[in-house]
């Protein structure tokens, strides 16, 4: 019996291995922290060795827990997207530290490309904006600034990849592939084309022969070297983390939408097989590629969600633990007119105002901890409402919203989201939707299910539903106050 699915979930602050049954039950987790390197303001780096070794160790632990490698049917990998690793194909060794998705060092290059008038074409072709967030300009930076990377490019042995690509290379002992969801975050792939694009690679300045081959997200993609875990285990699912969460929430039909509330908030709506064209500064991205067929999503993210609650806890000392915001919010009938605009690190979609800063409006002598905590939670619904309007303007109106992430545990916030958005909000009992989505893909790729839809139907658990119940007048007044405060941010 080799029926378990091993998921490797490589996040920003830690890497994990999780063991799933084919029915979607998580029966084991092993986790290791990842060291964050901040060599300069705005720079964030990871050590590729550490990513590999800690992920491998977590995997080995879960394989032992399962009872040996013959009990693992398949491996699925999901990862922090956009982070770039450079390594030498011949030696298999990294050439420099990984540049992490949050890193802003390529802003001058992005600005030069924007000023040269390239953004409209890049957006039309890739669905992305010319922002340091995406992988391509990070690759270019390494070529220009790391002599070892340049030398490997000249030798023809340079390999670039996002983290699922790096891990697959190390696990398999040499496969250089990337899945379409990760590839769609590089600025180097046209959403309409199966592989990387020569014109885009030229524009960004990345040699195509250093890039991995773009593959489906499920299937016989690679296999582990047998010496590594004692058996060649098939790698049958590869997927970027937000796409994985969208799949884990079973948003497989056009219009179905999920929102993940962690440090920040990420919203993705399934748009079916038509390439999304946002006119509201949302991103277009690949949600799935199976059998060469793509389904697309539009995506919007807000920078500050749970981190606002963390700020209330660590900088203001209003709560001792994040979950106390719930009882504080419930202890009063309203926020007493207090509105928080959580632009502590600028405003993301749909505003895209990097220079904006936070605002607390409407303070009076009756404002206290409870009002601030409530206003912080209310800000999540307000920010999400602005995204909902942008999605609707792009033709993707939400019928329900499926939520997950650490902050979604807050029942008061979940109800407030339903109230302000005016749509039902659903929260699954098992909120590790990113890992679950990777497990669904890997199970499909291993042939345990005939299609992703049947994997999702079998593996997705029960969800709790929050129905909208707020009077229109209350909602309108709140949104008016939010709009007013937003102008001051």
> Which residue, 152 or 421, is less far from ligand ADP as judged by CB?
421
Structure token digits, residue 109: 């290059």
> Which residue, 172 or 246, is less far from ligand ADP as judged by CB?
246
Contact between 262 and ligand ADP per CB under 6 A: yes
Q: Where are the alpha helices (DSSP H) in 266-368?
A: 306-314, 324-330
Write down how long the chain is: 489
In the beta sheet, which residues pair with residue 28? 19
Size of the site for ligand ADP (CB under 6 A): 15
Report, in Å, the least distance between residue 138 CB and ligand ADP.
21
Report, in Å, the least distance between residue 389 CB and ligand ADP.
24
Tell me how many degrees the CA angle 80-83-88 measures, rounded to the nearest 5: 125
Report, in Å, the least distance between residue 467 CB and ligand ADP.
21
> Which residue, 72 or 338, is less far from ligand ADP as judged by CB?
338
Instruction: Compute the distance between CA of residue 295 and CA of residue 126 in angstroms, rounded to an integer.
Output: 14
> Which residue, 21 or 323, is less far from ligand ADP as judged by CB?
323
> Which residue, 340 or 396, is less far from ligand ADP as judged by CB?
340
**By the 8 A CB rule, do 262 and 203 touch?**
no
Stretch touching ligand ADP by CB under 6 A, among 58-66, 321-329, 364-372, 446-454: 321-329
> Which residue, 160 or 303, is less far from ligand ADP as judged by CB?
303
Report, in Å, the least distance between residue 80 CB and ligand ADP.
10
φ, ψ for residue 391, nearest 5 deg: -60, -45
Report, in Å, the least distance between residue 272 CB and ligand ADP.
28
> Which residue, 321 or 471, is less far from ligand ADP as judged by CB?
321
Coil vs helix vs strand at 143? helix
Neighbours of 53 (CB within 10 A): 14
Report, in Å, the least distance between residue 404 CB and ligand ADP.
8
> Which residue, 289 or 325, is less far from ligand ADP as judged by CB?
325
Q: At what angle do helices 163-172 and 48-66 cross, to 10 degrees?
A: 60
Q: List Cα–Cα distances, 304 to 54, 210, 223, in angstroms.
A: 29, 35, 38
In the beta sheet, which residues pair with residue 268? 258, 299
- With CB atoms as reference, the residue minimizing the distance to ligand ADP is 406
Binding mask 284-313 for ligand ADP (x = CB under 6 A): ----------------------xx-xx---
Instruction: Compute the distance between CA of residue 249 and CA of residue 187 in angstroms, rounded to an integer.
Output: 26
> Which residue, 376 or 396, is less far from ligand ADP as judged by CB?
376
**By the 8 A CB rule, do 158 and 148 touch?**
no
Q: Using the rule CB under 6 A, which residue among 47, 60, 146, 322 binds ligand ADP?
A: 322
Report, in Å, the least distance between residue 321 CB and ligand ADP.
8
> Which residue, 11 or 195, is less far from ligand ADP as judged by CB?
11
Instruction: Compute the distance between CA of residue 88 and CA of residue 179 in angstroms, rounded to an integer.
Output: 20
Q: DSSP for 355-391? A: T---EEE---TT--HHHHHHHHHHHHHHHHHHHHHHH
Contact between 113 and ligand ADP per CB under 6 A: no
Instruction: Compute the distance between CA of residue 145 and CA of residue 43 in angstroms, rounded to an integer.
Output: 14
Q: Using the rule CB under 6 A, which residue among 323, 345, 367, 454 binds ligand ADP?
A: 323
Report, in Å, the least distance between residue 192 CB and ligand ADP.
32
H or E element at residue 339: strand 339-341
> Which residue, 315 or 399, is less far from ligand ADP as judged by CB?
315
DSSP summary character for residue 34: -
- Peptide bond just before 125 cis, omega within 30 deg: no
CB burial readout 406-419, b (16+ within 10 A) else e? bbbbbebbbbbbbb
Contact between 83 and ligand ADP per CB under 6 A: no
Residues 380-439 interacting with ligand ADP (rule: CB under 6 A)? 405-407, 409-410
Stretch touching ligand ADP by CB under 6 A, among 127-135, 228-236, 318-326, 344-352: 318-326
Report, in Å, the least distance between residue 78 CB and ligand ADP.
12
> Which residue, 33 or 121, is less far from ligand ADP as judged by CB?
33
What's the Rg (C-alpha) of the chain? 22
* CA of residue 82 relative to chain centroid, distance: 9
Q: Using the rule CB under 6 A, which residue among 263, 288, 335, 384 binds ligand ADP?
A: 263
Q: DSSP for 407-454? A: GGG-HHHHHHHHHHHTS-EEEESS--HHHHHHHHHHHHHTTSSSSHHH
Report, in Å, the least distance between residue 312 CB and ligand ADP.
8
Which residues are at the interface with ligand ADP (CB under 6 A)?
Answer: 262-263, 306-307, 309-310, 322-323, 325-326, 405-407, 409-410
């Amino acid at each position: 019996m080799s029926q378990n699915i091993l998921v490797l979930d490589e996040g920003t602050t830690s890497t994990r291995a999780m063991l799933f049954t084919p029915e979607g039950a998580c029966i084991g987790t092993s986790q290791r922290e990842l060291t964050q390197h901040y060599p300069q303001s705005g720079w964030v780096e990871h050590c590729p060795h550490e990513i590999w070794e800690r992920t491998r160790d977590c995997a080995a632990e879960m394989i032992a827990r399962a009872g040996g490698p013959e009990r693992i049917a398949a491996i699925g990998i999901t990862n922090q997207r956009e982070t770039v690793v450079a390594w030498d194909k011949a030696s298999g060794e990294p050439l420099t530290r990984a540049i992490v998705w949050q890193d802003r060092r390529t802003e001058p290059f992005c600005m030069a490309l924007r000023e040269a008038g390239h953004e409209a074409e890049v957006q039309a072709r890739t669905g992305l904006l010319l922002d340091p967030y995406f992988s391509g300009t990070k690759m270019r930076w390494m070529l220009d600034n790391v002599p070892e990377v340049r030398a490997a490019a000249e030798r023809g042995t340079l390999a670039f990849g996002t983290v699922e690509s790096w891990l697959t290379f190390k696990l398999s002992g040499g496969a250089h592939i990337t899945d379409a969801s990760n590839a769609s975050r590089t600025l180097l792939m046209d959403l309409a084309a199966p592989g990387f694009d020569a014109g885009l690679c030229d524009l960004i300045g990345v040699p195509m022969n250093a890039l991995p081959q773009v593959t489906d997200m499920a299937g016989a993609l690679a296999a582990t070297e047998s010496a590594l875990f004692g058996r060649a285990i098939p790698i049958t699912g590869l997927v970027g983390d937000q796409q994985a969460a969208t799949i884990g929430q079973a948003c497989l039909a056009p219009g179905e939408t999920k929102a993940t509330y962690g440090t920040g908030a990420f919203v993705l709506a399934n748009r079916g097989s038509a390439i999304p064209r946002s006119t509201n500064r949302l991103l277009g991205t690949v949600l799935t590629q199976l059998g060469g067929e793509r389904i697309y999503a539009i995506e919007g993210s807000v920078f500050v969600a749970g981190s606002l609650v963390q700020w209330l806890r660590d900088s203001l000392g209003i709560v001792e633990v994040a979950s106390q915001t719930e009882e504080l919010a419930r202890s009063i009938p309203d926020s007493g007119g207090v509105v928080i605009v959580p632009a502590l690190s600028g405003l993301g979609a749909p505003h895209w105002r990097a220079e904006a800063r936070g605002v607390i409006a409407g303070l009076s002598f009756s404002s206290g901890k409870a009002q601030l905590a409530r206003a912080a939670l209310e800000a999540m619904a307000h920010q999400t409402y602005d995204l909902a309007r942008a999605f609707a303007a792009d033709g993707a109106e939400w019928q329900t919203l499926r939520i997950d992430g650490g902050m979604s545990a807050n029942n008061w916030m979940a109800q407030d989201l339903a109230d302000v958005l005016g749509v039902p909000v659903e929260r699954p009992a098992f909120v590790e939707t990113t890992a679950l989505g990777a497990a669904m893909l890997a199970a499909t790729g291993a042939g345990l299910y005939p299609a992703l839809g049947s994997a999702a139907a079998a593996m997705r658990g029960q969800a709790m539903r929050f129905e909208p119940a707020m009077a229109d007048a209350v909602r309108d007044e709140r949104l008016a106050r939010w709009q007013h405060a937003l102008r001051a941010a």
